[in-house]
Structure 1
Amino acid sequence: MLADKHILLIVGGGIAAFKALDLVRRLRERGVRVTPVLTRAGTEFVTPLSLSALSAAKVYQDLFDLTDEAEMGHIELSRAADLVVVVPATADLMAKMAGGHADDLASTLLMATDKPVLIAPAMNVRMWEHPATQRNLAILHGDGILTVGPTDGDMACGEYGPGRMAEVPEIIAAIDAALSDGPLKGKHILVTSGPTHEPIDPVRYIANRSSGAQGSAIATALAALGAEVSFVTGPADVPAPQNVRVIPVQTAREMLQAVQAAPAADAAVFAAAVADWHVTNAGDSKIKKDGSGLPQLEFAENPDILATVSQMKQGRPKLVVGFAAETDDVIAHATAKRARKGCDWIVANDVSPATGIMGGTENAVTLISDDGAEAWPRMGKDAVAQRLAQRIAEVLL
């Protein structure tokens, strides 16, 4: 898949930069043309000579290089490749990208490119978990930047946790996925996932036991088939998937707003377990147990996101898929839900406590459509997602 592709490789200034050398070597083995760009901080860890020898190409470093600007220019350089890859993407580089800075060659290329960008973050665990980095990551996901990693592991600084750069085979797989022409290439699919949290007061909320694992797996499977995925997620227990645009929300009303603000979609999969109600008299401060009696909570129905999209007069996705998590009379309740909401498919599953499905790693679903009810065998949630993604691809082709 990678033969004859051209990658612009930006090497950031972190200890993980040494992996960039192995990445170049392995990409070249696959017939990839690599043009390296080395940041000033990157020169502290790898040399231009090493990158040039392994890539068999000139290494670009300076924004105001008169020769380079005369021969190619940073604008052309940023657009001559099929994909821009940043390895490692340091906290500083991510901040520059999120803020739109362009004060050196690397950041200018990232601002000027019209090609997909894949970053492999790497930094100290505390830097990765810092609110500023997480805000920047959310901005980058919202801008359509693809990510691979980081993973948990030992750090060069002696700490352990998330922040370790993905290994070279993982990066190559992400590059392959970013450049693949899967059956959903050029299609935009909206996926909702996770629970919603409806506040009672600043420290309490109403929610359910959804982990977000099935929705995350579906988004991953669709992206693997080449789709551009907008992933609207409540506060899930599982990490957000890679290579999708992540839009985090908390409440059902925020989720509806995010869905309505998303670009027009070819298909929409509503896997989120949205709370049915919210508290209208939620407290501005923590409600105290002070002996004065039970708090009187007042409820109102949350917006019906699935029905809202299913019944759109203009801009309705070609395929709208809902989920029905039931504890009894699963097929009857799910079939009635499909008719009531107006969606094309309902994926029904039994989430009664004995099944272990809610929050577990497996699922047993029935796909309900105009063709009837099609029961799938119990399988891992990743397998369910891949099967559903293939079926979606068949409809959108």
Structure 2
Amino acid sequence: MKHLVLVGGGHAHVIMLEQLINKPCPSLKISLISPTKKQAYSGMLPGWINNTYALETCQIDLQNLCSRAGVTFILGKLAHFNAQQQQLVLHDESALDYDLLSLAIGSQPNLVGNIAALNEWVAVKPFDAFTQTWQTWQQQLNLKLPATLTIAGGGAGAVEIALAARHMMPYRAKLEHKIIIYAGPNGVMSSFNSKVRHLIMRQLKKAHITLVYEYIDFSQAMSANVAKPSMQNFHLRVSTAKPALSFGDSGLALDAEGFVLVDEFQRSVSHPNVFAAGDICSRPTTHLQRSGVHAIRAGKQLAYNLLATNNSATLRAYWPRHNNLYLISCADQSAIASYGFNLGPFKMNVALHGRWVWRLKNHIDISFMNRFKAK
């Protein structure tokens, strides 16, 4: 019996586990390796920060999901592997052989710079480590004294966290709790259309969030204009991504940034028995956005192709949609909807803001999480 090993509890693998619950595969031995028993759902993380959701509401119980899917759950973290020998080595030095391998371990902030400086900044990924550190800071924080949250990064995640944190650190004229985003020269959410950015800027201004059009200099221990970390000051890194694990010695074909190169079937271009989905991979000719939206959609095809490979069946291609709906939480029971679509030769962009958008987002998020609860 062939052995399929799923490394990581990313969105694509969660979708596969769901499919295995509905349609088991007794002809294949399947194991899942994860450093945590529960996987945080990134779409609800800002809602946890502003106390809309309990942490448990934002987590998928991987161990329970594996049990229901007939998959062996292994609590551990991948250290390295050899694609030629088809063997994985975990941090406890235990080894695991595989016939088929799938990677969905996500990405992490691209931490480049002075080690002393980097140690003063908390990375938002992995989420489980971030949530623990954030909770500790919340417990220590004295809101009767000025506090500062400094965020490095200008993407949607940085904006959502900043807006969510404002509810934890309410703005007062006489006791100013500062929230500062260092977004870089292009400003926040530069990949979105101008209509969306206008709505976002309006929300940031309303929340008294300071936007700095510079990058943090991580070559120094601490930039002169950035407050030192303390019980009142928190430094968060939500910036450009790099692979969550280095695959340099694996033998897999990688792109220039170290992401696993895959074809249209989510299959490694160098090793056909290795697949990857989500933030960990890229394609030679097709741009893949590092977004949970795409990881979830890729999960269905990934599951089919892994089982099809086991049965020597025809694989199905996954092509990312060019038109996607993004729902960005403003943390005040409202949200911004961004959608682009083609109308003949013209591309149209829609940007809407309102409480009804948040209610839509909340419904989608809760419905998605309910899919993985034991019935």
TM-score category by the smaller chain? under 0.3
TM-score, scaled relative to structure 1? 0.27
Q: Which has the higher helix share?
A: 1
Q: Which has the larger radius of gyration?
A: 1
Q: TM-score, normalised by structure 2?
A: 0.28
